[in-house]
Amino acid sequence: MDQNRPILSRVATSAPDASTAIDRSITDFPVATPIDEDNYFRFHKPPPYLSQISNDVASFINYNHQKQRKVVLVTSGGTTVPLENNTVRFIDNFSAGTRGATSAEYFLEHGYSVIFLHREFSLLPYSRHFSHTTNCLLDHLKFSNNGNNVEVDDDLQKDLVSVLKKYQQVKNENRLLLVPFTTVHQYLFTLKLIAQELSVIGSDALFYLAAAVSDFFLPSSRIPEHKIQSHDHGGKLVVDLEPVPKFLRRLVDSWAPIAMIVSFKLETDSSILIKKATTALERYNHQLVIGNLLQTRKTEVVFVTPNDNEWIKLSEKDIENQLEIESLIIPKIVTLHKEWIKSRDDLVK
Ligand code: 9Z3
């Protein structure tokens, strides 16, 4: 592989894996017992493309570590829970991928290399500026040379030049690796794989878990192969889901025990946000939970650490100037990560 070329994973995750459809030889998921995190990985098959991703991730980490860059894993977008193996229906978790894609850009600006584990087809760093939801590129193009060439409108030149410069530099320096997922199953297996590979660089690794991860899943032993028919169960659809294993515990205590870990907590009820974030921090014993409310997530978040709750808010003026809250979040995390690395170094002295 040419080390100076960016590595972009080219696996597809959105199509169901119909060839390996249903394997009834896999033991039924132990529903009656409390679900142990390890059971999940024991009772389910990894996605078939995982070894391909594994090589990309290992070379990316190795290359960037040699260049003495810190590596952050940013997770982004919502995970799905398919209700059928040949998937027509699925349950989804809310997220456009804005938090993840925006944060990734600010980490890159701070010199980090980024593994971007994202929901396939959700927002990506840099291209997000011209996506259909915000600013459709096609609306800013015009023909030239008798309709044989295309030019960008004057009003977009400045923005496009600035974003393209950053994007090309990141690509040329091989500092961004895109790894997709669609289902919560693919997310969990890929997260575990990347965490284990990142453990090689110890405290230089940072986890920034912004993906909206489903709390429920349907064990593969119970997923029907084909589209559920409306007459199957007397016209009703009764969905019986299991709780997703508490993967953060494994991340903190065995997959990447020396890395710094930041997770997000999403709520819609402001009266329980701090409590839920504090409980997550105590339960998993990691470094930082960032709480946010669905309704206000773009203008305020709260940093919850063992000793402190600190709100970070955009002012009226910031909002007018279209400042992104991630431009305030990321520098703070970069500082916390520096302190974390120092504290780990002091431990071994
Ligand atoms: C978040 O809280 C993200 O900030 C958002 C971003 C999903 C709200 P958008 O992509 O939204 O900018 O539209 N992510 C974490 C959500 C989550 O599922 N957290 C789990 C939990 O709350 C823990 S990993 O239990």
DSSP letter string, 16-70: --GGG---TTSPPP--SSPPPHHHHHHHSPPPTTHHHHHHHHHHHHHHHHHTT--
175 lines ligand 1 (CB under 6 A): no
With a 6 Å cutoff on the Cβ, whether 266 touches ligand 1 is: yes
- Per-residue pLDDT at 19: 59
Q: Which residue has 């024991």 as its token pair? A: 42
Give the Å distance between the CA of 79 and the centre of ligand 1.
11
Ligand 1 and 97: CB distance under 6 A = yes
Q: How many CB atoms lie within 10 A of CB 120?
A: 16
Q: Atom 6 of ligand 1 has which residue's CA nearest to it?
A: 99
At 233 the pLDDT is: 75
Looking at the CA of residue 209, tell me the nearest atom of ligand 1: 24
Q: Is 95 in the pocket of ligand 1 (CB under 6 A)?
A: yes
Q: Which amino acid is at 48?
A: P
pLDDT for res 32: 38
Domain of residue 163: give its range.
31-348
Nearest residue (by CA) to ligand 1, atom 11, is: 95
With H, G, I as helix, E, B as strand and everything else as coil, classify residue 254.
helix
Residue having the nearest C-alpha atom to atom 18 of ligand 1: 212
Considering only CA atoms, which residue is closest to atom 20 of ligand 1?
A: 265
Is pLDDT above 50 for 203?
A: yes
Is the residue at 318 inside a domain? yes
> Rounded to the nearest whole angstrom, what is the distance from the C-alpha of residue 268 to the centroid of ligand 1?
11
Q: Is the CB of 99 under 6 A from ligand 1?
A: yes
Q: How far is 185 from 90, CA to CA, in rounded Å?
A: 13
Percent of the chain with pLDDT over 90: 74
Q: Do 6 and 176 meet the contact criterion of CB atoms below 8 Å apart? A: yes
Tell me how far apart the alpha carbons of residues 302 and 313 are, in angstroms, rounded to a whole number: 9
SS3 labels along 115-173? EEEEECCCCCCCHHHHCCCCCCHHHHEEEEHHHCEEEECHHHHHHHHHHHHHHHHHHHC
| Secondary structure element (H or E) that encloses residue 114, with its range | strand 113-119
Domain annotation covers residue 54: yes
Looking at the 3D structure of the chain, how many domains does it have?
A: 1
Does the Cβ of 259 fall within 6 Å of ligand 1? no
Q: Is residue 2 part of a domain?
A: no
Summary mean pLDDT of the chain: 91
Q: How far, in Å, from the CA of 77 to the mean position of ligand 1?
A: 8
CA atoms within 13 A on the CB side of 60: 30
Residue 61: pLDDT band with limits 50, 70, 90: very high
Q: pLDDT for 305-322, tens place per residue?
A: 988 999 999 999 999 999
| CATH classification at residue 275 | 3.40.50.10300
* pLDDT band for position 34 (cuts 50, 70, 90): very low
Query: What is the pLDDT at residue 27?
Result: 57
Task: Give 33's pLDDT tier (boundaries 50, 70, 90).
Answer: very low
pLDDT at 42: 87
Residue 75: inside a domain: yes
ipTM of the complex: 0.96
Residue 267 in contact with residue 296, Cβ under 8 Å? no
User: Which whole number is the average pLDDT over 242-256?
Assistant: 91
| Position 153 in a domain | yes
Question: In the chain, how long is the greatest CA-to-CA distance?
Answer: 70
Indicate if the pLDDT at residue 1 is higher than 60: no
pLDDT bin (cut points 50, 70, 90) of residue 21 is low
In a domain? residue 6? no
38 part of a folded domain:
yes
Cβ–ligand 1 distance for 7 under 6 Å, the answer no
213 CB within 6 A, ligand 1: yes
CA distance 329 to 280: 19
- Going from the Cα of 68 to the center of ligand 1, the distance in angstroms, rounded, reads 30
Contacts of 227 (CB under 8 A, 6+ apart): 84, 86, 88, 89
The reported pLDDT for the residue numbered 235 is 82
CB of residue 182 inside a 6 A radius of ligand 1:
no
| Residue 13 placed within a domain | no
CB of residue 277 inside a 6 A radius of ligand 1: no
- Residue 265 Cβ inside 6 Å of ligand 1? The answer reads yes
**Which has more pLDDT, 246 or 95?**
95
